[in-house]
Amino acid sequence: MNVPSQPSPPATDPCPATGYAGDISASLAYRWLQDGSAVLVDVRTDAEREWVGQVPGAVAVAWKQWPGMAMNAAFDAELLAAVAVGGKVLLLCRSGVRSVAAAKRATELGLQAYNILGGFEGDPNEQGQRGQRNGWRHAGLPWRQS
């Protein structure tokens, strides 16, 4: 497992969002996960988590299924099995895009849903490479790879 070698940037307050509770930094998400005030749900595909890496303790509930990226018909049931109605859920995808859609759906289901900015891999840099700018891994937060 990779662990932070340097302190993560300071956590900030959530940024307002339309249709869900807000956008948060990976550092703030980690703080909430550590203090037990929220559940981290990774909405990436099984393949992404296996090949790219995953956060220890995150609940896997794919938003879309690979191959083909069809919607996960069991998303609602799987999410509600992981987080009680009214509970705080932190949604993580590759770059913070799918997790916005998942946060909106989680809100419709009665959850206090937050999108993690930059996702697991972050935004691509000038060379089109992820993991260099922002996101969970770039923040130096715990993760592991198979």
pLDDT tens digits along 13-66: 899 999 999 999 999 999 999 999 999 999 999 999 999 999 999 999 999 988
What domains sit in the chain, N to C, each tagged with a CATH number? 22-116 (3.40.250.10)
Within 10 angstroms of residue 88's Cβ, the number of other Cβ atoms is 15
Rounded mean pLDDT of 104-120?
97
123 pLDDT above the threshold of 60:
yes
Q: Are the C-beta atoms of 4 and 23 separated by less than 8 Å?
A: no
pLDDT for 134 beyond 60: yes
The mean pLDDT value for 106-132 works out to 93
Q: Quote the CA–CA distance of 24 and 67 in Å, as a whole number.
A: 29
| β-pairing verdict for 22-24 and 64-65 | unpaired
Cα(122)–Cα(118) distance, rounded to whole angstroms? 4
pTM: 0.89
pLDDT of residue 131: 81
